[in-house]
Amino acid sequence: MATDNASPVKTYLPRVIGLVALLAGLYWGFTAYRRGQQFESTDNAQIEGTSAPVLARVAGYVQAVNVDDYAVVKRGQPLLTIDPLEYTVALQQAEADYQSTLADIKTAQADLANAMANSRQVVQNLKVAQSNAEVQAARRAKAQADLQRDQNLFNDQSLTRKQLDDSKSTVDIQARTYTANQEQVGLARSQQGVAQAGIQKAQAAIQKMQAMLKVKAAAVEAAKLRLGYARLTAPISGKIGKKSVVMGQYVQPGQNLMTIVNDSTFWVVANFKETQLEKMRVGQEVDVKLDAYPDLNVKGRVASLSEATGARFALLPPDNSSGNFVKITQRVPVKIEILNPEKYKEQLRAGLSVDAAVRVAK
Model confidence pLDDT, tens digit, residues 305-341 = 998 887 777 766 766 666 666 778 889 999 999 998 8
pLDDT, residue 188, reads: 77
Q: What is the dihedral of CA 106, 108, 113, 114, to 10 degrees?
A: 120
What confidence tens digit (pLDDT) does each residue in 178-234 have? Answer: 788 888 878 877 777 788 888 888 888 889 999 999 999 999 999 999 999 999 999
pLDDT at 241: 81
Which stretches of the chain score pLDDT less than 50? 1-3
Give the per-residue pLDDT at 159: 74
